[in-house]
Amino acid sequence: MKVYIAGKIRSEIERKYLERIDSLCSSLGFKTFLPHRDVGLVKDMKDIKRIFEGDIIEGFKGCNLVVACLEGLHIGAGTAWELGYAYAKGIPAIGIKTDESVEEALEELSAIIIGSMKIVESFEELEKELKTFTNSQYV
């Protein structure tokens, strides 16, 4: 089973958080796609095609699940796009938001994001939710 890990990647802190998600997924036996590790970062406009093709065309190839970091005041345009793309393709998603409750973040996350996926509020809850996929039809 392949998990696409979505989230903001501009800062080292954001990338480390996604790497923590990647580590959890890998420890449970999932193959993972981590955009900044597997494709790299955008430096300027000439990288756009490489990033899009790598992240979306290759990254979603064979993808069975998306785990998205929802931390902060906004989730980021790329993350929102990836979640919408996954939803349109019928790929389930799990969001993780540990910095505040989902109820407190309603305005930042939007009803669309909240209504489209399971959102957990800790890494322990994420692990429990991921384990439901190890014995599912998606494996």
**Is 139 part of a structural domain of the chain?**
no
End-to-end CA distance of the chain: 5
Report yes or no on 99 lying in a domain: yes
Residue 133 has pLDDT above 80, yes or no: yes
User: pLDDT by residue (tens digit) across 33-73?
Assistant: 999 999 999 889 999 999 999 999 999 999 999 999 999 98
The counts of H helices and E strands in the chain are 6, 5
Please report whether residue 14 resides in a domain. Answer: yes
**pTM, entire model:** 0.93
Nearest to 59 by CA among 91, 26, 27: 91
Structure tokens at 35: 């955009």
H helices of 12-122, where? 12-27, 35-38, 48-52, 77-88, 106-116
Output the domain CATH number for residue 75: 3.40.50.450
Domain holding 27, by residue range, is: 2-134
